[in-house]
Amino acid sequence: MTISIDGDAALPWHGQPYSIKRFGTSIDNCASEPVQTPGCIQTHGALLVVQPDDLLILQASENTEQVLGHPASALAGASLATVLGDDGANRVRSFLECNSTDCNPIYLFSHPARDADMLLDVSVHTIDGVAIVEFEETERAGKEAPDYLSRLKASVARLQQAASLQDLGDIAAAEVRALTGLDRVMVYQFHEDGHGEVVAESRRADLSPWLGLHYPAEDIPEPAREVFRQVWIRPLQQVGVPIAEMVPLAHPTTGKALTMTYCALRAPSAIYTEYLQNMGVTAGLTMSIRRGDKLWGLIAGHHYSGPARFPYGLRAACELLAQIVSLQHQSAEERGQLAYRLKLDEIQQQLITLAARQGDLAAMCDSTPNLLDAMDAGGVALFHCDRWWRIGETPSEPQLDALKGWLQTRPELMTPFRPVVASHCLGRDYAGGAGIGDVASGLLAISLSQRHSNLVIWFRPEMRGTIKWAGDPDEKPMVTGPHGARLTPRRSFEIFTASVQGQSSPWKAVEIDSAIRFRITLMELIVSRAEQLAELNADLAQSNEELDAFAYIASHDLKEPLRGIFKYVHQLGETGTLTDPSSRARLDGLKRLTLRMDSLLDSLLHFSRVGRVMLHFDDVSIDEVVAEALEMVDARRTEKASEVLIPRSLPNALCDRVRIREVFVNLLSNAFKYNDKPSAHIEIGYLAPHELARRAHWPQDTGTGPVYFVRDNGIGIRPRHFDQLFKMFKRLHGRDAFGGGTGAGLAIVKKLVERHGGQVWLDSEPDQGSTFYFSLPAGTATSHAPDT
Ligand code: ADP
């Protein structure tokens, strides 16, 4: 939406100073128009340029005859007293002598117009060594001027109530409209990238709303913005009426174009006029909103029902209002941001309390509020425990995996001060971004761990999909001038929406800061959780040690009386005193039970030793260990047909050779033992870390070393028993089934593997067979060549 076209180039135009009247329609590039030296004025007033010391008239607007009763040609070289009389001229002179009016027009007095019914406001300012005297038609003579000051006072009181920036904009639009009586007043904000947006609006009820309308940066070209950095207010009393040129067009002695930046009567550019006409605007008033020396936005008023009057008093009130809005702006924004920040903080706090209570980050995803409420976004994905949790509109899991890969390469994710990745144009920043733009044109990511194993990523959809055309989409330009339909809000909006393809609305500083704070608190939670776990593990290790010590003492001490019992049972049998068959059977039973108890005590003793013995870590050839273990279980092997397959050489491990041999012996003997097939097929192999395709019940982190396995085609195990198997004395079969056993083997395997820092688990299907896996720390020599 073009607002105004202004510029400061005072260059001659085709060898002459610029004049809108002569050259305005040939302009087609707003950015090049010298709008601060337009050479013309609006015709509801007249303008004289005088020498400040002697008040001799240098230039006069060509309409002085109609307004002041003196033809411009007669005024060149005449004294200002010709127009104002001696009294008026003296007042101007003494005012110029005593006051600084450089670039600051000041109202001096009212002067009767040629049409004696009307009064003219006379205001004066100096610039570039000349004094500019403006005569503006104001109220009818004798009519009392409205009390703008009291109205302003009430407006200021209301502005002071603003709780947020939005509030301030709404109140400012309403107050300016109430003061001026204009049909529509809008507050425009310039965004970081220069594009604009209507952020507040007060309008006549029958007009269609333009609130939320965006327009490209070029619509308010730099020359126009420059003017609004210098002047607070820009009145345009009537659009499309003839304008009056200065006579002569340039300074008669220096030839310099007249700088009219501060003139209330300055004529509007041809393109701006055309744009306003295309919208049916008949009069306009624009004010700047500044933050320090930065132009933050504009308050723009449109009138659609004929000319509007903006007398000096009204302009002064509006100007003051714009200045107060500018001053209040920062504190209103801070108040609004604080409220938003507090809202986000409160939600984050609730989420963290929840995650802490449940001991799981994923709890933040199915709660109310949830992780998506913690940010103004379209979707959020949490990567935690090797899987994704998603809420709202997010890319698919394979797309998220790829995105995670890209994020892991981003150095900013680990910078100490702002460890976030924030993009509102992902398609530009990330090669895979183009395909996910509809849901993820914007991304804000935080990592909660060194290796990025916990990530939170918020997504924003493409802006085009979220911006709504505020007014009637079929609204057509009222008039189409030489520059065509380009100069209409509808067209501007279309151009803007095309320009933001692939972009989301940008992340605000308050949102990025909030994400950073959230990350810190979440990481504190993770660390304190890890500390708790470490403490629990230490406690557990200690009680395990105590249990081992107890088991050792108990089994060791129990063995001695058991030996005594066994001896007496044996002697009783030898004496031959028990002759009846039932007594003998009982005695045999007693013998068997004693033997079983003895083997149980042996197992317990061994188990407790396994927990206490010192391990001797070495770089061990697992190929050799397996060969030894196979030799040891050979006896069992020969009981029936069997085939042992080792498809490829096994990598070395950093381990205690004897203990890991024991692990293989236990697993291999079980593989032969729990096998009802005519021929036992056993496979011994390994998986390198990159070959691991984790399944639901597999451990999350198996370290960086290889995972060995022993696979059989035996009786298999039901999944519900998987956890039970590794418990001490746990057997799934009758005491003597499958050759009997104490149920200690797998408990010992688990303890040995865990003492190496590894883990053990299994896959199995009843009747099909079982595979027991265990992980170990990697040794130095690894061989991946298949064995032939
Ligand atoms: P034991 O063999 O002395 O009973 P283990 O601790 O080695 O003790 O094994 C516990 C139980 O797990 C066994 O009783 C058996 O039921 C089951 N089991 C172990 N290995 C296998 C296997 N390869 N196939 C099927 N079942 C097995």
Q: Is the CB of 746 under 6 A from ligand 1?
A: yes
744 CA to centre of ligand 1 in angstroms: 9
Q: Is the CB of 603 under 6 A from ligand 1?
A: no
The tens digit of pLDDT for each residue in 280-326 reads: 899 999 999 999 889 999 999 999 999 999 999 899 999 999 999 99
Residue 88 CB burial class (10 angstroms; 0-12, 13-18, ≥19): middle
State how far the Cα of 408 lies from the Cα of 288, in Å rounded to an integer: 45
pLDDT range class, residue 483, cuts 50, 70, 90: low
> Start-end ranges of CATH 3.30.565.10 in the chain?
613-788
CA–centroid distance for 750 within its chain:
46
pLDDT range class, residue 31, cuts 50, 70, 90: low
Q: Is the CB of 101 under 6 A from ligand 1?
A: no
Tell me the one-letter amino acid at 535.
Answer: E
The tens digit of pLDDT for each residue in 526-569 reads: 877 777 777 877 777 777 777 777 777 777 788 888 888 888 88
DSSP 434-467: GGGHHHHSEEEEEE-STT--SEEEEEE--HHHH-
Cross-strand bridge partners of residue 188: 198, 298
Q: Is the CB of 727 under 6 A from ligand 1?
A: no
pLDDT range class, residue 511, cuts 50, 70, 90: very high
State how far the Cα of 105 lies from the Cα of 259, in Å rounded to an integer: 13
> Start-end ranges of CATH 3.30.450.270 in the chain?
379-504
Q: Which atom of ligand 1 is nearest to the CA of 743?
A: 8
| Whether residue 248 has a cis bond before it, omega within 30° of 0 | yes
State how far the Cα of 528 lies from the Cα of 530, in Å rounded to an integer: 5
The CATH number for 1-26+35-144+240-270, chosen from 1.10.3720.10, 3.40.50.720, 3.90.226.10, 3.30.450.20, is 3.30.450.20
Q: 287 versus 782: which is more confidently predicted?
A: 287
Over range 328-355, report the average pLDDT.
89
Q: Is the CB of 769 under 6 A from ligand 1?
A: no
- Please check the confidence at residue 7 and state whether its pLDDT lies above 50: no
CA–centroid distance for 14 within its chain:
52
> Start-end ranges of CATH 3.30.450.20 in the chain?
1-26+35-144+240-270
Over range 722-748, report the average pLDDT.
86
Q: Is the CB of 390 under 6 A from ligand 1?
A: no
706 CA to centre of ligand 1 in angstroms: 24
Q: Is the CB of 725 under 6 A from ligand 1?
A: yes
User: What global pTM score does this model have?
Assistant: 0.61
As its CATH architecture, domain 613-788 has 2-Layer Sandwich (3.30)
733 CA to centre of ligand 1 in angstroms: 8
Domain 508-610 has CATH 3.30.460: no
- Please check the confidence at residue 648 and state whether its pLDDT lies above 90: yes
Q: Return the pLDDT at 741.
A: 84
State how far the Cα of 505 lies from the Cα of 442, in Å rounded to an integer: 7
- Please check the confidence at residue 470 and state whether its pLDDT lies above 60: no
- Written out in words, the top-level CATH class of the domain with range 379-504 is alpha beta
